[in-house]
Chain A
């Protein structure tokens, strides 16, 4: 601008834009806090629900141990009976019956494991997709003056933390020693932002937000509970 009036006008525009930027930034911080809250809340509720389903299946699987032990003992008794001529025929028949039952139990155990693990994986991935979508939607609103990178990534996806004792048919199952760690569902959300090239003429700013959320199981004296994973308050 050549004259003084033009200079004042330019100056006023600059000040107005600067004030607008400050107001937008305050609004943006508010929006980020809100997104953070929504992500944490949804993550916790869904993680708890997923852990609940896994624990329910683990309880059933561990309860099946009674049946698997009984059938194993019955099988050994039948094998012993089949070795003595007077009870050999009855023993053989008993062996066949028990073995069929053991096969059925083995299938039920494996099916329960597979279904629970698959369900937990699908639900966890669906949660991950939902949270990413949520963070992406909110991100769009601010793209006119901010450059945003936001993503939710899994740190640990849950699975049934059990293992078979021995390689027998219809084995007993027990909890892994590190079940808390291997069964936990833990997600991490991060958002990095900086003012975009156009806005950097007026305000240069950059920062990062992050949170961790999830749930893990806890078993004390046969009583199950769920522990929340969250950032230290």
Chain B
């Protein structure tokens, strides 16, 4: 291998490492807003359930599918003034999410 070839090889390796690094950084970076987005979605579902709207869970599932989430399991519970929703799913970036949130609002016992 001559000097030019070695430089080319080194450049290609550095480029590959840089691209892989950037890809991983973006992948990790996307997790943060995605996390916020999921928290927001869960809260919206809880509010939707308090509003006694129908098909809140179905709409959540639809939104998650739009973001290419897979193996989605949604569970919701309702006690007197408290509602909770949990989501287990596989994100489009390959990691598994497991989120649970609850909301307590006193809307009826006045």
Contact = CB atoms under 8 A, between A and B. Distances in A.
> Is B a genuine binding partner of A?
yes
Contacts of A29: 33
Contact of B51 (A19, A31, A224, A230): A230
B40 A225 contact: no
Interface string A1-29: 00000000000000000010011001101
A45 interface: yes
A224 B44 CA distance: 24
B21 to A, nearest CB: 11
Contact of A33 (B37, B60, B110): B37
Q: Residue among A30, A45, A225 with the most chain B CB within 10 A?
A: A30
Given A226-B110, A233-B45, 17 more contacts: A19-B22, A27-B29, A27-B32, A27-B33, A30-B33, A33-B36, A40-B47, A44-B105, A48-B106, A48-B107, A55-B110, A224-B110, A225-B108, A226-B107, A227-B51, A233-B48, A233-B56
A26 B43 contact: no
Interface string A24-59: 001101110110110011001100100010011000
A37 B108 contact: no
Contacts of A230: 44, 47-48, 51
Interface string A144-155: 000000000000
Interface in B33-88: 33, 35-37, 39-40, 43-45, 47-48, 50-51, 53, 56, 59-60
A186 to B, nearest CB: 14
Interface of B: 22, 25-26, 29-30, 32-33, 35-37, 39-40, 43-45, 47-48, 50-51, 53, 56, 59-60, 105-108, 110
Contacts of B110: 52, 55-56, 224-226
A104 B74 CA distance: 58
A228 interface: yes
A233 B29 contact: no
A26 B29 contact: yes
Interface string A167-181: 000000000000000
Given A226-B107, A226-B110, A227-B107, A37 B47 contact: no
Given A233-B44, A233-B45, A30 B107 contact: no
Given A55-B110, A228-B50, A233 B39 contact: no
